[in-house]
């Protein structure tokens, strides 16, 4: 069995598809483009960019919230995907959720990834362990496997959200958060990669309602394939790029090749100053 911590998978799991786009605000916090790419694979895709604004010195006191909780990677090897900011807070569901901004400072891409977290109390007793997918903006078709994988390329950003934390856990009970990553290195895909840039989230805008702030936009499928169960997940960010909340919406019908879907997400508790949107689905080549 592989050791707990960051490691490379030795097998391929379920196939998913992701894409991303930044919001329309002027105060960009480190993402690289207003339209992202999408793809499918045993991983995720998310926003790109550098860690400035999410992991820089300005506003550093606000990069990990609450400040009295320690956030630490298990078996940190010092090279690869890192958490550059995080928030542990109540979500719209009324129970704790963890949102993390990621950055790949390693030499190879991190593909089809996941992030696991374990919460501990002040006596270092475990309160529970939970998992999340890892969103990265770079998507490729793994030619030899004929599958599509989402990656966080070297020097690029991504996100993760743990939304299934036990409702019995109170914020006041948590003193330490330990996280770990699992993903495929791009070196695993020896048969070559073909970039996929035709699945994009566009024109993301904040929409105010009596229930709160949600997000609208357009998911465009420019692939030569339909996408089953298309969905969009949006991370709301603060002024230094720390994720504050997440929300998602799913379409029941497939998104055909060349088709657009105008979506509207449910509201979030805190819409922040910026946002990054990701799309999810199952590509049918």
Task: Show me where the domains of the chain are located.
Answer: 7-77+87-284
Q: Are strands 243-250 and 226-237 parallel, antiparallel or unpaired?
A: antiparallel
> Over the stretch 109-164, which tens digit does the pLDDT of each residue have?
999 999 999 999 999 999 999 999 999 888 888 888 878 888 999 999 999 999 99
What's residue 11's pLDDT? 26
Cα–Cα nearest to 133, from 116, 152, 114: 114
What's residue 94's pLDDT? 92
Regions of the chain short of the pLDDT cut 70: 1-61, 76-78
Cα–Cα nearest to 196, from 11, 20, 10: 20
Provide the sign of the torsion angle of the four alpha carbons 76, 78, 79, 84, taken in this order.
positive
Across 95-156, the runs of DSSP E, i.e. the strands, are 96-104, 110-120, 126-136, 138-142, 147-152
Cα–Cα nearest to 278, from 37, 84, 86: 37
Cα–Cα nearest to 276, from 170, 160, 198: 160
What's residue 200's pLDDT? 87
State the pTM of this model: 0.80
Quick one: the chain helix, strand, coil %, rounded to 5? 5, 55, 45
- Reported as half-sphere exposure (CB side, CA atoms, 13 A), residue 155 has a value of 1
Residues 6+ apart with CB under 8 A from 224: 257, 285
Across 23-75, the runs of DSSP E, i.e. the strands, are 39-41, 64-65, 70-73
Identify the three-state secondary structure at position 56. coil
Residues 6+ apart with CB under 8 A from 65: 86, 87, 88, 89, 242
Give dist(CA 270, CA 210) in Å, integer: 14
Give dist(CA 143, CA 49) in Å, integer: 26
| Alpha-carbon dihedral 203, 227, 158, 172, rounded to 10 degrees | 90
- Dmax (CA) for the chain in angstroms is 55
């Amino acid at each position: 069995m592989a050791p707990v911590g960051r490691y490379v998978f030795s097998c391929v799991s379920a196939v998913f598809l992701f894409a991303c786009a930044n919001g329309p605000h002027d105060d960009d916090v480190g993402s690289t483009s207003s339209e992202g790419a999408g793809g499918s694979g045993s991983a995720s895709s998310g926003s790109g960019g550098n860690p400035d604004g999410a992991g820089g010195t300005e506003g550093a006191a606000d990069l990990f919230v609450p400040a009295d909780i320690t956030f630490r990677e298990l078996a940190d090897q010092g090279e690869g995907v890192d958490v550059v900011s995080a928030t542990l807070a109540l979500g719209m569901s009324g129970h704790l959720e963890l949102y993390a901004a990621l950055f790949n400072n390693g030499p190879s891409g991190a593909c089809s990834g996941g992030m696991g977290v374990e919460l501990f109390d002040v006596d270092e007793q475990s309160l529970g362990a939970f998992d999340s997918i890892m969103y990265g903006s770079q998507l490729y078709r793994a030619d030899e496997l004929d599958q599509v994988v989402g990656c966080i390329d070297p020097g690029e950003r991504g996100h993760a959200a743990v939304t299934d934390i036990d409702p019995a856990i109170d914020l006041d009970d948590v003193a330490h958060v330990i996280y770990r990553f699992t993903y495929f290195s791009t070196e695993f895909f020896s048969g070559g990669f073909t970039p996929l840039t035709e699945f994009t989230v566009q024109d993301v805008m904040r929409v105010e309602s009596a229930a709160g702030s949600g997000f609208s936009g357009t998911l465009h499928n420019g692939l030569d394939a339909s996408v089953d169960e298309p969905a969009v997940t949006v991370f709301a960010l603060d002024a230094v790029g720390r994720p504050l909340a997440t929300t998602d919406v799913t379409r029941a019908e497939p998104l055909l090749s060349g088709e657009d879907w105008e979506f509207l997400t449910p509201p979030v508790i805190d819409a922040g100053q910026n946002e990054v949107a990701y799309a999810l689905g199952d590509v049918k080549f």
